[in-house]
Copies of this chain bind each other. A is one copy, B any other.
Amino acid sequence: MISSIAELIADRIGTMPASERRAAQTLIASYPMIGLKTVAEFSAAAGVSSPTILRFVARLGFQNYPEFQSSLQDELAAQLQSPATRTLNPPSPGGGTVSPMLEATLDNMRETFRHLSDKQLADIAARLADRRGKTFLIGGRFTDPLARYMAAHLAIIQPDVFHLAGQESMWRDRLIDMGKRDVLVIFDIRRYQDSLVRFAEKAHQRGVQIVLFTDQWLSPIARFARHVIAGRTAVPSAWDSSAALFVVAETLIGAVTRQLEAKGAKRIREMESLR
């Protein structure tokens, strides 16, 4: 079973003429970076001519050079997405259901946060902590609980936090209350819901700032969003995982709380004494 281009090359390098072999060795030596550059650069690095590179690529079974490059990129993308797979780990002995699920989830989180800078989170937190406007939260079929979870926390530490529940027509009526200074937090992962997209668009038209929690394929709502958080969702299960987004949400809740505490913990103390 040949799964990578490197293996493919190792398999066929024996049958190649001298110049193509030099090309192959050059590629392997700095795999796969040289292959992502132009034919001219590749040929120069290998010390052969351009047509030799093209013949080499053709011999590997590719129709043309761009197709070869795409293949390399896909391979690279797969590696980058699952750091665990990089080490060619056997996927857990015994086939228990727990371990792969947990491992995938942990990877998802690391990967999600890898694409998320402190600054980005701080910006969003600042926006949420800015009390000149209101905060609305809403989610899709499976993610609405995340919106509720976040709303439950935010509503305690500051006023004017609303979770949009119920039917579509209900949200729409709330649109009239929304304006430029307000923030709308939307959770939307595949399959993306048309109703949410429509709602986001209308809110966007009213100047509402949208913070979108979505998956790595980006909900169409990203078009209207001021801030986009893309979480990894792939796990060995029939369902997508929202765990990474959940953790981001918790992180944000913590950050907002800290910012408000800095400003003055009056409200929080009041809240405590009311219990």
Contacts and interface: CB of A to CB of B under 8 A. Distances in A.
A30 to B, nearest CB: 7
A115 interface: yes
Interface residues of A, number: 83
A115 B29 contact: yes
Contacts of A87: 114
Contacts of A92: 118
Interface class of chain A by DSSP: helix
Nearest to A251: B101
Contacts of A26: 218, 222
A43 interface: no
A116 B145 CA distance: 25
Contacts of A22: 222-223
> How many copies of this kind of chain does the complex include?
2
Interface stretch (A56-64, A176-184, A194-202, A232-240): A232-240
A258 B123 contact: no
A6 B13 CA distance: 37
Given A36-B36, A105-B247, A145 B152 contact: yes
Interface string A94-109: 0011100110011001
A50 interface: no
A73 B118 contact: no
A135 interface: no
12 contacts: A33-B77, A97-B118, A97-B251, A101-B251, A146-B149, A235-B254, A238-B258, A239-B250, A241-B247, A242-B246, A243-B247, A246-B246
